[in-house]
Amino acid sequence: MNSNLISELSAKGYWPALAWEYFQEKKFSRAIELCRLRLAEYPEMISGRTIMARALFHTGQLELSQQEFYRVLEKDPDNLVALKYLGDIKFNSGDSASAFSYYERFLQAAPDFSALASATTDRPVTATKIIMLRKGEDKRETAEEKLRDIPFRTETLGNLLMAQGYYRLALKVFNELAEAGGNPRISEKIEVIEASLSKDKKNV
């Protein structure tokens, strides 16, 4: 949203706009305080609850943030911000299966979106961490280990793994899908990954 419009709405007393200004200025405590106060009067205000949940996340109050994002999804099941942040929270806690479940829902709701937020290393929660969904080198083995025991296998999951650079894991997913059915798209993706891995070996 345009910053001038945000300022105009804030000046006119639209409290979610003021809360968003606090959030952008990293005045997270003030954003949380304002949202809690006003949500007591307007509990159905999804925009305000989303801002509060994000501010809670950035102050390290992950359990409270998670609870608020759950409430957002109750009203708006395809809310991209809630799905993305819940994926981050689950990934940070080591729950890779749940994290990818939320990321998969994110991609189903916004298939053309080019990036997801995710943390592959433990560090203080001071900003949203970003993984660009584009081809790259395999991530560290420690990161791959966290993703190995995902209990579901879908083409979307394979696409996500491949886009984040987890080629071997993506290949495993696609091979299992290929064994279960003869989808030509899966075969093409297997060929692409195998060619990429073969190229990387030659360049070593």
What was the pLDDT predicted at 122? 41
For residues 87 and 91, what is the distance between their CA atoms, to the nearest angstrom? 6
Give the tokens for residue 104. 């998969």
- Say how far apart CA 44 and CA 46 lie, in whole Å: 6
Residue 126: its pLDDT value, please? 43
Q: What is the spatial distance between Cα 38 and Cα 164, in angstroms, rounded to a whole number? A: 39
Helical spans, DSSP H, in 43-123? 46-58, 62-75, 80-92, 96-109
* pLDDT score at 163: 66
Assign domain 9-133 one CATH number from 1.10.10.10, 1.25.40.10, 3.90.640.10, 3.40.30.10. Answer: 1.25.40.10
Report domain extents, the chain: 9-133, 136-204
| pLDDT for 76 | 92
Spatial contact of 132 and 114, defined as CB atoms under 8 Å apart: yes
Give the C-alpha separation, 48 to 53, whole Å. Answer: 9
For position 197, what pLDDT does the model report?
78
pLDDT of residue 132: 38
What pLDDT is stored for residue 52 in this prediction? 97
Q: What is the pLDDT of residue 202?
A: 55
Cα–Cα distance, 76 to 46 (Å, whole number): 8
pLDDT of residue 38: 94
Report residue 5 CA to chain centroid gap. Answer: 27
For residue 80, what are the contacts with CB-CB under 8 A and spacing of at least 6? 106, 109, 110, 113
Number of H helices, E strands in the chain: 11, 2
What averages of pLDDT result for each successive group of 10 residues across the chain (204 residues)? Answer: 64 84 94 95 93 95 96 93 92 87 86 52 41 41 49 68 72 81 77 78 54
**Residue 27 confidence (pLDDT):** 95
**Region for residue 27 given its phi and psi (left: phi exceeds 0; alpha: psi -120 to 50; beta: otherwise):** beta
For 185, what's the count of Cα atoms within 13 Å in the CB-facing half-sphere? 5
In the prediction, which pLDDT does 150 show? 55
Per-residue model confidence (pLDDT) at position 187: 83
What whole-number distance in Å separates Cα of residue 4 and Cα of residue 17?
A: 11
